[in-house]
Structure 1
């Protein structure tokens, strides 16, 4: 299947080892902190510290996973204050005074979204009854005190000069659908009094509140159709700078920071427009100035010190890295602080994508990223792997993905599709998949495949579809009807939206309820093409039993399939220690289908 024998294949072990991820970047007292997850180390999240005079070093004990499972997806797993490190791991909340190797368990509570207030550690605690905002003194008592509580969901406890702010949404909502921003006075007894709603409601998502240096409360709202930055001065809410792009990420995790304040009064913001991110500076009068950077994908973790901003960025030729950007000059200076160092891939040739716009059903336009086979010429023709991203509110991102390069270096083209429901195209596009799941997303992926066939790029009978989580549901429905796809790979797949609504963690239950009503359950009697199922036995988002049942039903009908179960792996296979096993199985699946087509 190689188009150019001179191009070496990316080894599966190298693709996995190079897929290092960085998250939860924060700044404190001249230092930067972030979490680093290395797949070849079992996917454990290690806390890293960087100082100018010391460089980087691990400050959490070897093998200690700095993570939490608040709202199923976690976030805000550590905070730093007065030389102490507070972090969440197995067993609860820990505190370390020195280098991280003296961690002491201070509370067995399940907490996340850690932040520091006025002499207190603030956090979100999830219980069977709902959510609580809790506080604990940084010194003295080690008892968590409830600040406020809700039967629904809470996030972003932010203590300001005189008021306390937080976000809230109901049990029937997702934070990207309906999220409210509240403020209240913080009494001497440590409770919120006289709460007032500042923004948000059934048709507005107000997220990422943060007190500015001017004493105003800033937040991001999609009241105008895009998530844009707003400011509340205690009397009224005003737009800071209208931008036709998303100034926040879809809040799957807690603790996002899509904007931050510089010492010169400017605000730095990461903006998503389709599959691309860019960094902009918002001036005092609302002027918007782009920052020229070598990155096309920026994670929602900005951390500022003075006139510099630290970020986690990547591009089609550079995998994820932590960088420090000096914004004091007209030409920003970029200093890379951490990146995946992997000698075997340092000089590897990579496939760079082209952006594609395709007309799909009902007159809508769909975006896709097309990665041609590595080393191919302009008139390439190849087998194609269409990838439906998870979420489905996620999106395809313009960044180096070594697991995609694993396939392009073996003669495949990889195509990422931003189907209806994706983030990066405004609220209306994101909401339009509700009640149409398994229909419009499948149509969009099929439209992209049909376009590549008509353009002479894709080889007939050698177009495959793969998806993870919600994307796995899309992939399964794509081969449960006539279409261009010869086979499917479903990773951590959702099979039955109704049953999923009953088994999914409470955070995502509202999502399941809003999405369902389209194609319904994947029925074995409709599946027409070979399927590879890859599923972790410890998956608590999409339970493995649903996939087992479907696989048994396909076996009874003699439909070609394989069920690969990964012991003790959760919902995220790509970042697990079994990522290499999954990649090899997927490659073998496509090759087997192509071989069978030749011999039949």
Structure 2
């Protein structure tokens, strides 16, 4: 796309933009889970135009091949959030098919063949045991039983033979992850944890011998516990177990030296990330030989990713020049690194780096064609005071409005959209996203907040949300809006907030308990904390014990912090978006709020989406929700809308003549 050479005047929010909702949907190609097998590169790509299915691609030389054509959907539902949905080992692919949760294999030149039988089990996070011709996996069995205690799924580690037969290797913990077999096949490492902990609060790293018959012997606790979170165990080519631990307050790299744990690089930086999905990789070994060399790693410092070589013996980091400020995943081996990264001017892309020369070759882009630079807002990283008496600092990315075709009125100020991310143990990044540029190119300013509780800033910052969900996150979003309004950067009368999932609770609390924001949008957001406990899936069923309080202390706090209990205080217009197949935050969480606002006479809109779960994957869903949210704000602000029929019905909306003025 090229920028126009003519300038025009238009009210903030009504700027003509080439970044339509359809352009956002067409550019929404999620990329994830890169893997390397020899010189071949593999990765997953989302297909919004095909109902949001995920397919597996392989790059071999100049040849790009889709290995899983429709209807195959390479996706796992273990823990509901999935991840770790495929593995490539010596040219053979193993993957989980979302429709039936079975594991399929793809041998060279062959069509996918089912390995496991239909049933109640789901699988993720695979490892290949070549010596025993079997696949290792995390297994989640949803068969259940008649007793209430049996209704939650049972998680184990299992081995799956070439004939599809299954053997349980480890059981007894509530959760398992990361089965990793040593290069000689004689040892297996894995992670486990139990309720009420989430994996970024405390996990255990176990190590066991693998007997000749494939069973495990003498399991030993290597590291971890209730207050130490371990992630990404990996074996070096020489058979030394490495892992990431936050025992220092930061996720740093360690290795097992005999019976002792040895730090490799003590730094106020995050070399790991929260385990929301399986098989995320942030480091690897540059050599495939049987002797250890350097480690290639990515780490987050002050919210920005770095890439470096790490000498395990000296602990020295040598930076590797690269164009990315977010590195979401890193796979290393054979002198090559696969990097899934982005920056304020680069949308998420997959690149292959020859480590000897650090020369990147882009293999895939999440956005095929970018708008001209004149329509793209480059964010500024800001830190501001928050909390009572400003005793805490919060972090955010600020995006100013940007459109080459428009001359803004110097006397006017733009509306501000504050984004509260999900998780809440998530993280806002500054990678270029068309979904953000959709707003900035129309004259909205955007503040993407990394409130207290976000990852990427160390354990103390993450733990700022302990017992304070609905307080600290809300304070940081409110403080960010006030900070920009006080500086005269944005219009204090047109501040809006939006969020999805946990960010939806932040949005609802900000609108219910504070008077800063004038309107908001909740995407599959939480409104009833007790209801969330009652409906939650196993993975998050005790998360509120950390975020709010254990029982019975939580009962009173649930009443105080659940927006549904204070609907009489929510007088700001809201729009709700809800996938009807959502198992993480079920539809009733939105429906109770919509009903309450409808009855109270507050302007409200509600859009449901068939076939969508927790997060919208279909192109049509992306288009409909963006257009409806924009239409909603323009009507609330009394701005002129394009000459078109109503995009979404807004109930209880007073008739106000549109002005079209800033």
Is the TM-score greater than 0.5?
yes
Q: Among residues 194, 197, 201, which one is paired with 1:177 in the alignment? A: 201
Q: 1:191 to 1:567 in 2, by over 3 A?
A: same
Match of 1:350 in 2: 376
Instruction: Report the 3-state secondary structure (helix = DSSP H, G, I; strand = E; otherwise coil) of the residue aligned with 1:345.
Output: coil
Question: Structure 2: how far apart are the matches of 1:132 and 1:385?
Answer: 43
- RCO greater where, 1 or 2, for CA within 8 Å and sep 6 or more? 2
Question: Structure 1: how far apart are the matches of 2:82 and 2:187?
Answer: 26
Q: Note the C-alpha offset of 1:63.
A: 3.0
- Normalising by structure 2, what TM-score? 0.86
Q: Among residues 28, 44, 50, which one is paired with 2:53 in the alignment? A: 44
Asked if residue 462 in structure 1 is aligned to residue 471 in structure 2, the reply is: no
Question: Structure 2: how far apart are the matches of 1:587 and 1:250?
Answer: 32
Q: Note the C-alpha offset of 1:337.
A: 0.9
Instruction: Report the 3-state secondary structure (helix = DSSP H, G, I; strand = E; otherwise coil) of the residue aligned with 1:421.
Output: coil
Q: Note the C-alpha offset of 1:589.
A: 1.3
Match of 1:217 in 2: 241
Q: Note the C-alpha offset of 1:576.
A: 6.1
Question: Structure 2: how far apart are the matches of 1:562 and 1:555?
Answer: 9
Question: Structure 2: how far apart are the matches of 1:372 and 1:110?
Answer: 44
Match of 1:271 in 2: 299
Q: Deviations over 1:129-163 (max 9, x none)?
A: 521111123x4x32121111124100111111331
Deviating more after overlay: 574-583 vs 445-454: 574-583
Match of 2:155 in 1: 131
Match of 2:86 in 1: 78
Deviating more after overlay: 276-285 vs 219-228: 276-285
Q: Alignment RMSD, CA only? A: 2.1
Say if 1:491 and 1:573, in contact at 8 Å, map to a contact too. Answer: no
Question: Structure 2: how far apart are the matches of 1:274 and 1:576?
Answer: 34
Match of 1:567 in 2: 610
Question: Structure 1: how far apart are the matches of 2:616 and 2:273?
Answer: 22
Instruction: Report the 3-state secondary structure (helix = DSSP H, G, I; strand = E; otherwise coil) of the residue aligned with 1:302.
Output: strand
Question: Structure 1: how far apart are the matches of 2:110 and 2:421?
Answer: 36
Q: 1:574 to 1:80 in 2, by over 3 A?
A: closer
Match of 1:538 in 2: 581
Q: Among residues 545, 559, 567, which one is paired with 1:513 in the alignment? A: 545
Q: Note the C-alpha offset of 1:511.
A: 1.4
Say if 2:51 and 2:617, in contact at 8 Å, map to a contact too. Answer: no
Q: 1:143 to 1:414 in 2, by over 3 A?
A: same
Say if 1:117 and 1:158, in contact at 8 Å, map to a contact too. Answer: no
Q: Among residues 167, 173, 178, which one is paired with 1:145 in the alignment? A: 167
Q: Note the C-alpha offset of 1:321.
A: 0.8
May I ask how many residue pairs the two structures share in their alignment? 594
Deviating more after overlay: 487-496 vs 57-66: 57-66
Question: Structure 2: how far apart are the matches of 1:99 and 1:20?
Answer: 26
Match of 1:367 in 2: 395
Say if 1:442 and 1:475, in contact at 8 Å, map to a contact too. Answer: yes
Q: Note the C-alpha offset of 1:347.
A: 6.5
Match of 1:15 in 2: 24
Q: Which runs of 4+ in 1 moved over 6 A?
A: 4-7, 376-380, 596-600
| Structural mapping, 1:328-343, within 5 Å | 328-329=356-357, 332-340=358-366, 342-343=368-369
Question: Structure 1: how far apart are the matches of 2:657 and 2:48?
Answer: 36
Asked if residue 101 in structure 1 is aligned to residue 108 in structure 2, the reply is: no
Instruction: Report the 3-state secondary structure (helix = DSSP H, G, I; strand = E; otherwise coil) of the residue aligned with 1:591.
Output: helix
Match of 2:5 in 1: none
Question: Structure 1: how far apart are the matches of 2:63 and 2:373?
Answer: 25
- Normalising by structure 1, what TM-score? 0.95
Q: 1:247 to 1:112 in 2, by over 3 A?
A: same
Match of 2:624 in 1: 581
Asked if residue 156 in structure 1 is aligned to residue 178 in structure 2, the reply is: yes
State the structure with more CA Rg: 2
Q: Note the C-alpha offset of 1:341.
A: 5.2
Match of 1:35 in 2: 44
Deviating more after overlay: 142-151 vs 101-110: 101-110
Q: 1:247 to 1:372 in 2, by over 3 A?
A: same
Question: Structure 1: how far apart are the matches of 2:457 and 2:367?
Answer: 34
**Could you list the runs of 5+ residues in structure 2 that have no partner in the other structure?**
1-9, 142-151, 549-553, 639-653
Q: Note the C-alpha offset of 1:4.
A: 11
Deviating more after overlay: 374-383 vs 236-245: 374-383
Question: Structure 2: how far apart are the matches of 1:509 and 1:389?
Answer: 20
Instruction: Report the 3-state secondary structure (helix = DSSP H, G, I; strand = E; otherwise coil) of the residue aligned with 2:208.
Output: strand
